Chain A
Amino acid sequence: MRHRSLIILTTVLTTGALTLTACGSRDDNSKGNSDSDSKTTVVIGVDAPLTGSLSALGQGIKNSVDLAAKTANKNNEVPGIEFKIEALDDQAVPASGQANATKLVGNKEVLGAVGPLNSGVAQSMQGVFEKAGLTQVSPANTNPALSQGDNWGKGDSKRVFKTYFRTCATDVVQGKFAAQYLYNDAKKKKVYVVDDKQTYGAGLAAIFSTEFKRLGGKVVGTDHVTVKETDFSSTADKVKSSGADSVYYGGQYPEGGLLSDQIKKTGAKIPTMGGDGIYDPAFISASGEANDGDFATSVGYPVEALPTAKQFIADYNAGGYKDPFAAYGGYSYDAGWAIIQAVKAVVAENDGKLPEDARAKVTEAMAKVSFDGVTGKVSFDEFGDTTNKQLTVYEVQKGAWKDVKSATFED
């Protein structure tokens, strides 16, 4: 009897596990397999949170890179090269990111990697890629220290990892831009700053605070929340009794949406502003329809508004992807395309074949990459940061994000 129950249990668990695995790998089986005999395969690694609460963003990243690879294959962008992607799940956990980086490095066909989403995860991956000389392009990391070193704030910027590039603008640009908008355009003078203690959130909140104070505004209080927690009512009441006329939140949308909602429930009718981490439909849907008037900055112009993006959106929709391209789809496509362009340059230089030291050559070629991408002009400066400093402020209006100001950032 006992044995039979155990067998049933094992069967149930195994079936469950198998179903889940099947679920996760369905996409992988359906693509590729078509590389013809003469073509060399180049794999673009993808690392993003494919499960967990940030999976909506991660799936968008994976699909967009997949689209870039497929487009390159279809147009025969690099003759003799067949691009494939290998997508790994980091669950927004630094240790998983590091393990994935090691795995990608171990695969000789990988010549570049796109990802990760989270700045904190990037920190754990950079060293691994640097050692292997493998190019990494993040579509979403905005923490300045990743490319400019820990002392960037003291005017001592120095490139730390020569293999690290990114297609989105940093928090220096984003945090200052947000402070300028809130102070000059929205006319808010007293802000309460909350962050989630993560690399991204705390960094962004600090840059914002410095700039807001420099402009003449006042930071009337600060607090921190813990990721994955959901009850912020005590913090919300502190915000209310501080007399702040606005809130700045450095963090991601799961906590940001709840925080904004709970602040408004205390009766304080003040807007919450945040960075690209809260610029997601789930920020709004997650907290009812109460957060009209909240702001978010995001890097680049609205993807839908750029002429270069129309083709991307059409192709993405035609690609039959299950999840939307989300906030970083355009940047991910450009990140993937930058790697493809670098491979193209390397191959062209070497008489149409991949050289022996392809990884090192690709990293070198990245510095010279320049093309008109989905998100505008794509090229990298001496730190590996994007030269594109376009930003947009979005406001929640009637339950949807609406762009209210797009500009190129000026210091």
Chain B
Amino acid sequence: MNELPQQLANGLALGALYGLIAIGYTMVYGIVQLINFAHGEIFMIGGFGALTTYLALPSGTSLMVVIPLMIVGGAIASVAVATAAERFAYRPLRGAPRLAPLITAIGLSIVLQQLVWGFYPEAKKPRSFPEFQGESFKILDNLYLQRADAFILVLAPLCMLALGLFVAKSRSGRAMQATAQDPDTAKLMGINTDRIIVMAFAIGAAFAAVASVAYGLDKGQINFEMGFILGLKAFTAAVLGGIGNIYGAMVGGVVLGLAEALSIAYIEEIPGMQQLGGGAWANVWAFVLLIVVLLVRPQGLLGERVADRA
């Protein structure tokens, strides 16, 4: 049986998840040139916010009603934490050397993880998350699309479209582009750059909340550590696609997801490469790809459109 369509679908779904999280890295980097390593934890907190919302709703409510509310609940939690982090951890360091906020971000990431571990009820173990009921959709003989994968494959492009329109057309979006290009001049033009920066953090956090709901629905569980690896992968996706470019984040995510899925499935079938295939080597191949891309295009796949970054 030809596995290719199935593996492509797996890679796309995984890549869309990476892409949604990568938006947060790329938005913040585009505007304040900060690599917000706590963003993985923002994603995780979005998941716990969504779970709290779910538990607060009466049981038996239809998933069609619950999911939008969970996204809202998750987004409230993640946006609140992200904006608070910006206000209290990053803003005081805005004029400081670049390394200072970077280290702060790493520290903040540990603090957030431990807070959830310590204070969220029963969060020391994975907590179960609602899942879609029912079988996966059969598209072809050799292609089944699971409900949660279908969910993220529909949602991710919609979110991207909305964000693209917002950045290109709205007043705030244009202010965002201006701030990204030159914060000082933007300020002179009457743009409240502090507000724009908060907005960038908030939008990234909201996308992370969407991603964490999709993640929870797919895996059926969330845990306090889940932000670390996914955050790292999403950051890689952002760099791969060209950090600072919102479309680059999504493209990078999809390329990374496909690279992982295909390397797990196919590297070991190349004669003589049996030892270098399978899940054990997926990350190695993903990073080999990253290095090759950066050698050829140091700015990332879509990194050239500097004027567009926001």
Report the stretch among A98-106, A130-138, A153-161, A285-293 that lies at the interface: A285-293
C-alpha spacing A231/B92, complex, angstroms: 37
- In the complex, which range does the number of interface residues on chain A fall in? 35 or more
Q: What distance in Å separates the Cβ of A313 from its nearest Cβ neighbour in chain B?
A: 21
Q: What distance in Å separates the Cβ of A254 from its nearest Cβ neighbour in chain B?
A: 6
> Does B221 contact A258, Cβ atoms closer than 8 Å?
yes
> Does B126 contact A223, Cβ atoms closer than 8 Å?
no
Report the stretch among A39-47, A49-57, A179-187, A351-359 that lies at the interface: A49-57
Contacts of B220 in A (CB 8 A): 261, 286-288, 290
Query: Can you pick out 11 interface pairs between chain A and chain B where the beta carbons lie within 8 Å of each other?
Result: A13-B111, A16-B115, A20-B118, A55-B124, A225-B279, A230-B229, A233-B10, A234-B11, A266-B136, A286-B221, A287-B219
Within 8 Å by CB of A228, from B1, B89, B229, B265, lies B229
Taking CB atoms and an 8 Å cut-off, the chain B residues in 108-128 that contact chain A are: 111, 114-115, 117-118, 124-126, 128
The chain B residue with its CB closest to the CB of A265 is B146
C-alpha spacing A23/B6, complex, angstroms: 47
Contacts of A225 in B (CB 8 A): 279-280
A residues adjacent to B (C-beta < 8 A)? 2, 5-6, 8-9, 12-13, 16-17, 19-20, 23, 51-53, 55-56, 59, 194, 197, 222-226, 228-235, 237-238, 241, 254, 257-258, 261-262, 265-267, 282, 285-288, 290, 323
> Known interface pairs A5-B88, A20-B118, A261-B220. Does A286 touch B126 (Cβ–Cβ under 8 Å)?
yes
> Known interface pairs A237-B3, A238-B264, A267-B144. Does A226 touch B280 (Cβ–Cβ under 8 Å)?
yes
Within 8 Å by CB of A234, from B95, B265, B280, lies B265
Query: Counting CB contacts under 8 A, is B131 at the interface?
Result: yes
C-alpha spacing A9/B92, complex, angstroms: 8
> Does B278 contact A224, Cβ atoms closer than 8 Å?
yes
Contacts of B264 in A (CB 8 A): 223, 234-235, 238
B residues adjacent to A (C-beta < 8 A)? 1, 3, 6-7, 10-11, 13-14, 88-89, 91-92, 95, 107, 111, 114-115, 117-118, 124-126, 128, 131, 135-136, 144, 146, 215, 219-221, 223, 225-226, 228-230, 260-261, 264-265, 278-280, 282-283
> Does B128 contact A285, Cβ atoms closer than 8 Å?
yes
C-alpha spacing A230/B211, complex, angstroms: 14
> Does B107 contact A238, Cβ atoms closer than 8 Å?
no
Contacts of A267 in B (CB 8 A): 135-136, 144
C-alpha spacing A224/B278, complex, angstroms: 6
Contacts of B89 in A (CB 8 A): 9
The chain B residue with its CB closest to the CB of A195 is B280
Within 8 Å by CB of A53, from B11, B125, B136, B146, lies B125
C-alpha spacing A2/B96, complex, angstroms: 11
Contacts of A285 in B (CB 8 A): 125-126, 128, 221
Within 8 Å by CB of B225, from A53, A286, A290, lies A53
List 16 extra interface pairs beyond A17-B111, A235-B264, A267-B136, CB under 8 A: A6-B92, A8-B92, A19-B118, A20-B114, A59-B124, A226-B280, A226-B283, A228-B229, A233-B14, A234-B264, A235-B279, A238-B265, A257-B221, A265-B136, A285-B221, A286-B221
C-alpha spacing A202/B216, complex, angstroms: 28
> Does A16 contact B279, Cβ atoms closer than 8 Å?
no
C-alpha spacing A217/B118, complex, angstroms: 46
C-alpha spacing A205/B136, complex, angstroms: 31
> Does A234 contact B131, Cβ atoms closer than 8 Å?
no
> Known interface pairs A231-B14, A237-B7, A257-B126. Does A8 touch B88 (Cβ–Cβ under 8 Å)?
yes
The chain B residue with its CB closest to the CB of A236 is B10
> Does A56 contact B124, Cβ atoms closer than 8 Å?
yes
C-alpha spacing A232/B95, complex, angstroms: 43
> Does A226 contact B279, Cβ atoms closer than 8 Å?
yes
C-alpha spacing A128/B69, complex, angstroms: 54
C-alpha spacing A17/B6, complex, angstroms: 46
> Does A237 contact B6, Cβ atoms closer than 8 Å?
yes
Contacts of A23 in B (CB 8 A): 118
